[in-house]
């Protein structure tokens, strides 16, 4: 994974980038990670070089994420988050803490962050789900209190400039 450029970002933004990169590098089976704002915009990505899907395919060195696009993972995470919140309301289930989708060829985890943002992880089908969930909870615990409106705005601008 290539580390995203954090030049010119605040200390808080650089720390969040480091936490995200660390999650991908240190947790076995994790392909890619994204943070999505409550309104569905990608704030952070573990793979900023693949923000849009490319036509070349896996042989050209694309990421192992959905269709090779961080934007695709962010869209999936936002959609899963919306669906589960709606389901929880219909069932009087309270707030959604975490959602996991297990597929034949991978897994997707979505965890709520205190400000309404979502942390999403795409992992291998044989990953240790409890280890992934534990490290996601650590990220949420460390990131949740610093995701202020100002920091979310800074992260959005940073993602837009990467396009």
**Domain for residue 14, yes or no?**
no
User: pLDDT, tens digit, for every residue of 31-64?
Assistant: 999 999 988 899 999 875 544 443 333 333 344 5
Q: What is the dihedral of CA 5, 54, 163, 146, to 10 degrees?
A: -60
Domain that residue 127 falls in: 28-47+63-158
**Domain for residue 114, yes or no?**
yes
This prediction has a pTM of 0.83
Number of domains in the chain: 1
Locus of tokens 């989708």: 101
**Domain for residue 54, yes or no?**
no
**Domain for residue 118, yes or no?**
yes
Q: What CATH number corresponds to the domain at position 106?
A: 3.30.450.30
User: pLDDT, tens digit, for every residue of 113-136?
Assistant: 977 899 999 999 999 999 999 999
**Domain for residue 12, yes or no?**
no
């Amino acid at each position: 994974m290539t580390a995203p450029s954090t030049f010119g970002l605040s200390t808080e933004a650089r720390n969040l980038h480091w936490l995200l990169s660390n999650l991908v590098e240190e947790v076995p089976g994790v392909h890619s990670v994204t943070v999505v704002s409550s309104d569905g915009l990608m704030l952070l990505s573990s793979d900023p070089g693949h923000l849009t899907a490319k036509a070349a395919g896996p042989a050209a060195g694309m990421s192992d994420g959905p269709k090779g696009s961080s934007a695709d993972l962010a869209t999936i995470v936002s959609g899963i988050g919306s669906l589960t919140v709606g389901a929880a309301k219909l069932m009087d289930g309270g707030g959604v803490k975490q959602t996991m989708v297990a597929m034949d060829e991978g897994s997707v985890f979505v965890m709520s962050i205190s400000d309404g943002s979502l942390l999403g992880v795409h992992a291998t089908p044989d990953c240790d789900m409890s280890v992934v969930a534990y490290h996601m909870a650590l990220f949420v615990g460390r990131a949740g209190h610093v995701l202020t409106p100002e920091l979310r705005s800074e992260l959005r601008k940073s993602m837009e400039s990467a396009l």
